[in-house]
Amino acid sequence: MAYNKPIPTPTTLTKPFWDGAREGKLMLPRCTDCGRVHFYPRHVCPFCHSAAIEWFEASGEGHIHTYAVQHRGFGGYAQEAPYVTAFIDLNEGDRMLTVLRGVDPSKPEEIKIGARVKVEFEEASDEMSIPFFRVVEE
Ligand SMILES: [Zn+2]
């Protein structure tokens, strides 16, 4: 089935993230002055205001901070509803909003805060792959 959800348009700020996603890598920005990781990408570190930002390949692992079942959606997400979105605490630091797959939206009580997750990528076009996360243990 053709990908029918919104496809982001990379900018100079987000291009390293999307280039990595196309190669199956979760790239994250890190401040070389204070060493902290932040997501979403910014021109200036949100912790120390330094502009010294580098990109690195993250493990793609983390755990569920919180989640919600989405009963409505727009675009292709309407056809996927109900589905689960989650905030993931990334192993390297900071938090990412994502679609969480491999869980049953009709049984949200079975989704565990703190459950370990790993990133996967869905091909949206020849140029773009979109990350999502999947639970790797109960
Ligand atoms: Zn910093």
Q: What is the mean pLDDT of each run of 10 residues along the chain (138 residues)?
A: 87 97 98 97 97 98 98 88 97 97 95 97 95 89
Rounded distance from Cα 80 to ligand 1 centre (Å): 38
Rounded distance from Cα 12 to ligand 1 centre (Å): 20
Residue among 40, 25, 16, 18 at smallest CA distance from 95: 40
Rounded distance from Cα 86 to ligand 1 centre (Å): 26
Position 108 scores a pLDDT of 95
Rounded distance from Cα 51 to ligand 1 centre (Å): 8
Position 1 scores a pLDDT of 61
Rounded distance from Cα 29 to ligand 1 centre (Å): 10
Rounded distance from Cα 97 to ligand 1 centre (Å): 21
Rounded distance from Cα 23 to ligand 1 centre (Å): 27
Residue among 38, 90, 92, 89 at smallest CA distance from 66: 89
Rounded distance from Cα 30 to ligand 1 centre (Å): 8
How many CB atoms sit inside 10 A of residue 86's CB? 27
Rounded distance from Cα 63 to ligand 1 centre (Å): 23
Map out the domains of the chain with their CATH numbers: 15-135 (2.40.50.840)
The pTM for the full model equals 0.93
| 55 close to 37: Cβ distance less than 8 angstroms | no
